[in-house]
Amino acid sequence: EAQIAASEKVIIDNTEHLRGQDNLPDLEEKFQKLKGRLDNLEKNKENIDKEIFAFIKEYKIVLSFYPYAKATLEMIAEKERNNALPPNIDKKLLKEMLANHKCLLCDRDLKVEDENKVKALLEKIQVSSETSHLLLEIKSELEHVVQKAKKYISSKEALLLKKKQNENEMTETESELQKIDNEISRFTDKKQIIQWHTERSQHEKLLKINTQKLGVANKQ
């Protein structure tokens, strides 16, 4: 009963002391959370700026190379349609097959009709094997460049939107921080206020515990 009375007195006294300023601890906690959030947003800003720099650097090359890549791909496609590109077998190998009357890939004898097909293939080849193989080797990379260039606008817009959203969040957070800082600055003795608040919280817990204990004791 004495402890309950003591706790009630502390709660009443400290509530009187804290009248109009008992929200300081909550403000301090909110301020620290917003400060941490702002720090993270500033780090995000640095990372986004790095992304933008890398994006500009990459697309300066891609967009400069795009017309040539597109033109080369169209040329390769045209030659493929006209069967002007040989398969991944050079002329020398095809000639050796005809001379040996044997397929040097599957090691079987060539029939007359097979040899005629090889001869026809040799006649259709309009570019050298070396050039042909080079074109086929760079084809996938050229396709990658062309596809990358087509995504330029959407990629740029997504990156700028990401930057804008981060900037808006930073502006909002800085504004909230300023408001809370203005509220906190009106407290003259922050240390004393926090002490009163802590004591009141402790005695509110003690009051609850001792009230339960008193009820058990009275029942006994």
Q: Note the pLDDT tens digit of each residue in 77-100.
A: 888 787 776 655 567 787 888 888
Q: Does residue 109 register a pLDDT over 60?
A: yes
pTM of the model: 0.55
pLDDT score for 195? 78
The structure tokens 């080797």 sit at: 137
Q: Note the pLDDT tens digit of each residue in 32-83.
A: 788 899 899 999 999 999 999 999 999 999 999 999 999 999 988 888 787 7
pLDDT score for 78? 85
Q: Note the pLDDT tens digit of each residue in 145-156.
A: 999 999 999 999
- How many residues belong to the chain? 220
Q: Does residue 211 register a pLDDT over 70?
A: yes
Closest by alpha carbon to 146, among 219, 68, 51, 42? Answer: 68
The span from the CA of 107 to the CA of 109, in Å, is 7
- Report CA torsion sign: 150, 62, 48, 53: negative
The DSSP line for 69-113 is HHHHHHHHHHHHHTT-S--SS-HHHHHHHHHHTB-TTT--BPPHH
Q: Does residue 22 register a pLDDT over 60?
A: no
pLDDT score for 66? 93
